[in-house]
Amino acid sequence: MQYIDVQINILKLNLIGQASKAMAGLIFAMICFVFFFCFLFFCGFLLVEVLAESGLSRMQSFMVTTSIYFVLLLVSFLFRKSIIRSFAGVFIRSLTNEDGKE
């Protein structure tokens, strides 16, 4: 009976460990996304300024920058299945890592 209790406690600890790793990975990914989107946002303003200095009006510069963002959105939409698969693979790998196999 004591053996079963020990095995159940080990199972609970492993489950808690895997869940905490998954949550930490999720929080880290959200922080990275925030930084990435801030980076894209300010790169957009930089591109607008560069285009405005090169002779385009501000409105044309914003339209070109918006068009570039739209093309990036279309490309990410076209490759969404492979992107989702790669994120799922990373998530599954992080959940199924055994101790010491980081």
Give the model confidence (pLDDT) of 35-83 as tens digits.
999 999 999 999 999 999 999 999 999 999 999 999 999 998 999 888 8
Residue 101 pLDDT: 53
Domain locations along the chain: 2-96
pLDDT greater than 80 at residue 92: no
- Start-to-end CA distance of the chain, whole Å, equals 33
Residue 97 pLDDT: 66
Cα four-point dihedral sign 34, 37, 43, 45 = negative
99: helix, strand or coil = coil
CA separation (Å) from 71 to 56, 60, 65?
20, 16, 10
- Which burial class, exposed, middle or buried, applies to 52 when counting CB atoms under 10 A from its CB (0-12, 13-18, 19+)? middle
Of the candidate ranges 15-24, 29-38, 55-64, the one whose mean pLDDT is the lowest: 15-24
